[in-house]
Amino acid sequence: MRFAFLAILLLLPVSVLAQENYTVSGRITEKGTGEDLIGATVVLEPGLRGSVSNHYGFYSISAPAGSYIISFSYIGYETIEKEVTLNQNTRLDIELGETSIQLDDIVISAVRSDLNITNAEMGVERLDIKQVDLIPVIIGEKDILKTLQLLPGISTASEGSTGFNVRGGSIDQNLILLDEASVYSASHLAGFFSVFNSDIIKDITVYKGGIPSYYGGRASSVVDISMNNGNNKEFEGSGGIGLLSARLSVEGPVIRDRMSYLLSGRRSYADIILKALPGDIIEDGTRLFFYDFNAKLNFTANDRDRFFLSAYIGRDVFAYEGYGMDWGNYTGTFRWNHLFSERIFSNTSIIYSDFSYGFNMGSDIKYSSGIRDYGIKNDMSFFLNPDNTINAGLELHYRDFNPGALTSSENSDIDIILAKKRALETGIYIQNKHILNHILNANYGIRLSTFSHFGTGEEKIGYIIPEPRLALNCRISGTSSLKISYNRLSQYLHLLSNSTAGQVTDIWIPSSPSIKPVIASQVSAGYFRNFLNDIIESSVEIYYKKLQNITDFEDGTSIMLNENIEDQIIAGRGRSYGAEFYIKKKQGRFSGWISYTISRTEQRIAGINNDEWYPSKYDRIHDLSLVGIYEITKRISLSSVFVYSTGSAVTFPSGKYGLNGMIIPYYTERNGYRMPACHRMDISMKIKGKERKGFNTSWDISAYNVYNRHNAYSIYFRESETGKWSTEAVKLSLFGIVPSVAFNISF
């Protein structure tokens, strides 16, 4: 930590002493749709000064006066070169067109081909939506969160679930952002499907380590998801129908090149079909569905100002006559991009997010719980010179927590309303992306987070936690580099959950005098090497993560409507360490990757397991994913996924005893057993229809778990029917082979 402070203090003045330069800046967009291209590369020659477009497609690059060739490139798109004479600041907006698709040119990665070597970032993965589209998943529902689970260091919380654990972190330690708004519960249908409709997602970046100071608030990872802006050239649409849901998206210009919209909806339809079928398969009073609705509007007012408005609504509804439950998220973001000068880019966001869960028993009794988040964020990018880009900003979140309220309209005596909680979290950060020389470059910065819990009397509490971040890249050769990173993260939000994968009934609460913020410190180091002209990327990363103030419950703690839950939470320490191996072929008819992680995650909590270290329920020693995609012809591609992972650590009985005629299991050590290893293979085939002007179709035919392995979802123990004192272990498997088919259109 001291080292990080020192590094920041020593290096910042270097940036300030930069010499006077002229700047060329602008936006890089896609030719056909006007969508911003994130992470497109800009190179100025001679001198080989480079820059990368930001989240809004904006780039800025400075150089002394003179004549240069400037080139813009983005994988899968044509490269454009232009001559520029820099004798004044120059605005240059560029549209890149997709290269015509050649059979040998299937591009899986959307990032610059050697960015993994040149960039100081590590522990970062970017998913292109094209990947998600080709990878088989259960019931044919394309799912970005399930695709993330195939990457190194990210494991599945439980089979079929969208819940994931990053480097041994719990699911509430993942910050999932949709256009900057936190999504507090990212799943539908008991966790099996994510809330993200992949048709309208532009970019997905996951940070497992070396997390930039721009992000804060969670202890393990950040998943930053961006929605498309909407085509500002012409109207277009896409949609599809699978076994579970149907979806439709439309987008188009309101004012050509300046203002566009995007509207998208998805709904499960099993209830509609079952109701329409003869015979009362489900009764009229039954409602059983989920839906998502996304909308976005963007407006370019002038060269300096752009505005974006994004919204998401998603809910699950499960009801039978007067009884039922529903849950879901609402998010909204308003963003304003402003260019103060060619070198100062600002983004201001106003953010709203809401997650709520509720059930009702008849018209009388209702239960609700949830969290509401009001945020404002300003981020400034200072493109000081070709070697230094400084980001600084401020983020503020006010959160309202409803830990649970049971009310009756007829008898207020039975009302149980837990006191609502309110908290304010702020983060101030500064970060510099610094090219020290042609061998070394670094990202370093610090985030200062503060937290206040508004309560009465002893409940009031405040924390200030400095969070240094550092990533250093040392290029060993043109094709390889060594990287190290350090980050400290704090988390002031806690998800009270009794399960591994997360349930909608879980409850968010803020830190308090008795629940201290989780603090994670992580060091990692990695070797990155590309082969065959950057077609194959490989990396080995090792990491060690230390967690303070992780929580568990006293035995038998009830989460719902528990007024005393804070007294039943016990805190401890955690540690996670491991090595991640990754090799990825990005281009060619055959593409895909192998990812293998070997790791341990342990915790030590006073009063549990005789105060000794024990494996966490997120501990997966071996985790292997193989992903292969093969394009047979231009219209037909085959893909397959194989996964293997060590079973999670669980507590099984080591004895039994009798009580009132019941057989009670007797437990000795916490998480002293393992679930059986889990493995399966999925396959998928995509068949595109004949290309027609303005209307294209495709079929996805897939099978999940092709060799029908009955992976254990849980193992439980019960009295057997064979004898009075006999007991048996029962394995519950959720998914055997699951075939599916989906039909997609675009127009």
Partner 1 sequence: MKRACLIILSLSFACMACEEVIDINLNNASPVLVAEGSILLNDICRVRLSYTSDYFDSDLPLAEENAVISISDSENRSEVLEHQGEGFYQGNIIKGLPGQVYSLRIRAGNKDYLARSSLNSQPELLLLDYEQLDIPHYYHDTIFTVKIAIVDDRHEENYYLFRYYRNGEMLKDYYSTYSDRFLAADTIVYSEYRLDFYRGDTVRVELYAIDQAIYNYFNLVNDVLFSAMSSSTPFNPSSNFSPGILGYFMAASFDSESIIIH
Could you give the CA distance from residue 314 to residue 331 in angstroms, rounded to a whole number? 9
Q: In angstroms, what is the minimal distance from the CB of 675 to partner 1?
A: 10
Q: In angstroms, what is the minimal distance from the CB of 650 to partner 1?
A: 8
**Interface with partner 1, residue 254, by CB under 8 A:** no
* Site pattern 115..154 for partner 1 (x: CB under 8 A): ------------------------x---------------
Could you give the CA distance from residue 1 to residue 7 in angstroms, rounded to a whole number? 10
Q: From the CB of residue 109, how many other CB atoms can be counted at a distance below 10 Å?
A: 22
The 3-class SS string of 629-644 reads: EEECCCCEEEEEEEEE
> Residues 535 to 554: which contact partner 1 by CB under 8 A?
552
Q: Judged by CB under 8 A, which stretch of 230-238, 459-467, 507-515, 730-738 contacts partner 1? A: 730-738
- Cβ proximity to partner 1: between 226 and 268 the closer is 268
Nearest to 30 by CA among 52, 51, 57: 57
- Cβ proximity to partner 1: between 455 and 647 the closer is 647
Among 16, 17, 48, 659, binds partner 1 (CB under 8 A): 659
Q: From the CB of residue 324, how many other CB atoms can be counted at a distance below 10 Å?
A: 17
Q: In angstroms, what is the minimal distance from the CB of 516 to partner 1?
A: 21
Our CA angle for 540, 218, 132, nearest 5°, is 55
**Interface with partner 1, residue 707, by CB under 8 A:** no
**Interface with partner 1, residue 285, by CB under 8 A:** no
Among 658, 691, 707, 747, binds partner 1 (CB under 8 A): 658
* Site pattern 630..649 for partner 1 (x: CB under 8 A): --------------------
Parallel, antiparallel, or unpaired: how do β-strands 662-666 and 493-496 relate?
A: unpaired
**Interface with partner 1, residue 723, by CB under 8 A:** yes
- CA dihedral of residues 685, 268, 298, 424 (deg, nearest 10): -120
Q: In angstroms, what is the minimal distance from the CB of 161 to partner 1?
A: 11
**Interface with partner 1, residue 651, by CB under 8 A:** yes
Q: Judged by CB under 8 A, which stretch of 31-39, 46-54, 59-67, 655-663 contacts partner 1? A: 655-663
Among 410, 567, 736, 747, binds partner 1 (CB under 8 A): 736
H helix or E strand, kind and range, residue 497:
none
> Residues 470 to 499: which contact partner 1 by CB under 8 A?
498-499
Among 657, 695, 707, 747, binds partner 1 (CB under 8 A): 657
> Residues 395 to 414: which contact partner 1 by CB under 8 A?
413-414
- Cβ proximity to partner 1: between 16 and 276 the closer is 276
Parallel, antiparallel, or unpaired: how do β-strands 536-553 and 286-300 relate?
A: unpaired
Nearest to 9 by CA among 356, 323, 446: 446
**Interface with partner 1, residue 368, by CB under 8 A:** no
> Residues 660 to 689: which contact partner 1 by CB under 8 A?
660-662, 664-668, 670-673
DSSP code string of 533-563: TTTEEEEEEEEEEEEEEEEEE-TT---TT-T
Q: Are 225 and 201 in contact (CB under 8 A)?
A: yes
Residue 145, both tokens: 């969160």
Among 324, 332, 653, 689, binds partner 1 (CB under 8 A): 653
> Residues 156 to 215: which contact partner 1 by CB under 8 A?
158
> Residues 600 to 629: which contact partner 1 by CB under 8 A?
617
Task: Report CA-CA distances (Å) from 193 to 74, 198, 268, 334, 646.
Answer: 31, 12, 11, 27, 23
Could you give the CA distance from residue 84 to residue 43 in angstroms, rounded to a whole number? 12
Q: Are 354 and 371 in contact (CB under 8 A)?
A: yes
- Cβ proximity to partner 1: between 71 and 368 the closer is 368
Q: In angstroms, what is the minimal distance from the CB of 518 to partner 1?
A: 19
**Interface with partner 1, residue 258, by CB under 8 A:** no
H helix or E strand, kind and range, residue 145:
helix 144-148
Residue 6, both tokens: 């020192």
Q: Judged by CB under 8 A, which stretch of 31-39, 326-334, 619-627, 735-743 contacts partner 1? A: 735-743
**Interface with partner 1, residue 286, by CB under 8 A:** no
Give the contacts of 388 (CB within 8 A, at least 6 positions apart).
Answer: 14, 15, 18, 432, 433, 434, 435
Q: Are 188 and 290 in contact (CB under 8 A)?
A: yes
Q: In angstroms, what is the minimal distance from the CB of 747 to partner 1?
A: 22
Q: In angstroms, what is the minimal distance from the CB of 158 to partner 1?
A: 7
Q: Please, what's the largest Cα pairwise distance for the chain?
A: 93
Q: Which 3 state secondary structure label does DSSP give 250?
A: strand
Size of the site for partner 1 (CB under 8 A): 67
Residue 677, both tokens: 């290893």
**Interface with partner 1, residue 718, by CB under 8 A:** yes
- Cβ proximity to partner 1: between 2 and 724 the closer is 724
Q: In angstroms, what is the minimal distance from the CB of 110 to partner 1?
A: 32
Q: In angstroms, what is the minimal distance from the CB of 229 to partner 1?
A: 35
DSSP code string of 201-242: EEEEEEESSS--TT--S-SSEEEEEEE----SSS-EEEEEE-
Q: Which residues bind partner 1 (CB under 8 A)?
A: 139, 158, 243, 270, 273, 276-277, 413-414, 416, 498-501, 552, 555-556, 617, 651-662, 664-668, 670-673, 708, 710, 714-718, 720, 722-741
